[in-house]
């Protein structure tokens, strides 16, 4: 495994606003960050540009075969599922939609494996539906830290609520508290 620390973030409706707030509060983390936002192919590049304006870390659109690096942020492209092999190499595919979406948070999170000498965190932010609940359960089962956004700071409380209902969330936090938790884990 090439990357020891990894954070996988899932979001949907209201995600850009919440992610901008979150990343404006974060220093360069000692972790690679992968974002799976329910997004279309025509919007993903502008999403990267918007997030880059507030992030201290470089933000890029994930590409097939990319080896992810600590201190960098990767956005799953619109219309493609993202998986990681060995928690470090990006693979993209246009397989069937999962939870009626592609990219799917569940698909990305379920590809994560038990880290060797590192730490994994899964974060579910604002969004409609239940995508991410299965994935966040997987993250918890392999020893990862699980975080869901609270109802008060979520634009739509569907995805974080579904994640919380698994009973496997370590922390239910506001956007500001999520930033603080990520700093304490990976700062």
Q: Which residues are catalytic?
A: 12, 38, 131
Taking the C-alpha atoms of 77, 79, 81 and 87 in order, what is their torsion angle to the nearest 10 degrees? Answer: 0
**Antiparallel, parallel or unpaired: β 81-85 and 89-93:** antiparallel
Dmax over CA atoms of the chain, in Å, equals 38
How many CA atoms lie within 13 Å of 160's alpha carbon, on the beta-carbon side? 29
What's the CA gap between 157 and 92, in Å, rounded?
A: 28
Please, what is the Cα angle at 60 between 58 and 62, to 5 degrees? Answer: 135
What's the CA gap between 154 and 11, in Å, rounded?
A: 10
What's the CA gap between 63 and 71, in Å, rounded?
A: 17
């Amino acid at each position: 495994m090439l990357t020891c620390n990894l954070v996988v973030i899932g979001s949907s409706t209201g995600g850009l606003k919440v992610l901008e707030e979150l990343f404006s509060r974060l220093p360069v983390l000692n972790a690679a960050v992968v974002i799976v936002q329910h997004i279309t192919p025509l919007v993903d590049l502008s999403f990267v540009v918007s997030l880059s304006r507030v992030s201290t870390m470089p933000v890029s659109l994930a590409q097939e075969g990319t080896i992810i690096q600590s201190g960098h942020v990767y956005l799953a492209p619109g219309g493609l599922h993202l998986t990681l092999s060995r928690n470090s190499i990006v693979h993209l595919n246009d397989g069937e939609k999962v939870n009626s979406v592609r990219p799917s948070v569940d698909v990305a999170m379920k590809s994560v494996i038990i880290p060797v000498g590192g730490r994994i965190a899964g974060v579910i932010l604002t969004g409609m539906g239940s995508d991410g609940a299965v994935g966040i359960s997987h993250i918890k089962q392999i020893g990862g830290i699980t975080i869901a956004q609270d109802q008060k700071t979520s634009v739509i409380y569907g995805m974080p609520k579904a994640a919380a209902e698994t009973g496997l969330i370590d922390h239910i936090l506001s956007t500001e508290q999520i930033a603080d938790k990520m700093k304490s884990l990976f700062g």
